[in-house]
Structure formats: structure tokens, C-alpha cells
Amino acid sequence: MKFSADAIAQAEVTLQGNDLVVRAPKAMTLALRDPSVQRVAAQVVGKPVRLRVEADANMKAAAAPARAESSADDSEVRQRALSHPGVKRFQELFPDAHIRAVRNLSE
């Protein structure tokens, strides 16, 4: 799981219905195809999900996390997202993963 955790740390992960879409650098896609990643993803989400791994040629492996300028509203949305039980559980399972961006889906 160490290689899978490193790959998740460098990926963009979104949940689209029952699909967990993981967009990662091409060099990391093999580690993400490990069946344990799908099993852990289903545990985190709380329901069966289909893992869809997408290689992104524009993403570079081992790149530093991008930091966006945050306003007070972004900070509040980020804090709410980080306090979500599913996010907390994901962070426990992948302790080296970093959250790069948080979107307010209600907007």
C-alpha cells in the first residue's frame, strides 16, 4: 500500500456517482490499479465504488502540492470539508496524502 498511498498523494480524486475517478501522473497509474485501492476507497466512501484510473500526461510525479490563494470563504469551506468523517477516514488510511483543493459543490 505504500506505493498506492504515494500515488494517491499525487493524484486528484473525485467521486462521480458510484465512480471514484483518480487522475494521476502516468508513472503512478500502475500503483493505483492495486485491488486494495478499490477496497479501501469503498470503505472510505461507505458504499461500493468503481475505481477509474486516468493517466494525466500534464501531471508530474512527485510534484509539490499546488497552493491556491485562499479567502475567508475558501478557508471555511476547506475546514468543513476537512471535518467530514469520510475525509478524516481517508486521511487516516493515507497519512501522507495532501488535500490540494476544495470546491464548494453547493455553488
> pTM of this prediction?
0.54
Q: What is the pLDDT of residue 64?
A: 44
Is 107 inside any structural domain? Answer: no
Give the CATH number for residue 73.
Answer: 3.30.300
C-alpha gyration radius of the chain: 14
Q: Count, in order, helices (H) and strands (E) of the chain.
A: 5, 3
Q: What is the pLDDT of residue 44?
A: 87
Model confidence pLDDT, tens digit, residues 86-96: 888 888 888 88
Beta strands 12-16 and 19-25 are antiparallel
Please determine, for residue 15, whether its predicted confidence score (pLDDT) is greater than 70: yes
Please determine, for residue 3, whether its predicted confidence score (pLDDT) is greater than 60: yes
- Please report where in the chains the cell 485491488 appears, as a residue: 35
Amino acid type, 61: A
How many domains would you assign to the chain?
1
Model confidence pLDDT, tens digit, residues 27-81: 888 888 888 888 888 898 899 999 999 998 887 766 444 444 545 567 888 888 8
Residue numbers of the domain that contains 6: 2-58+67-93
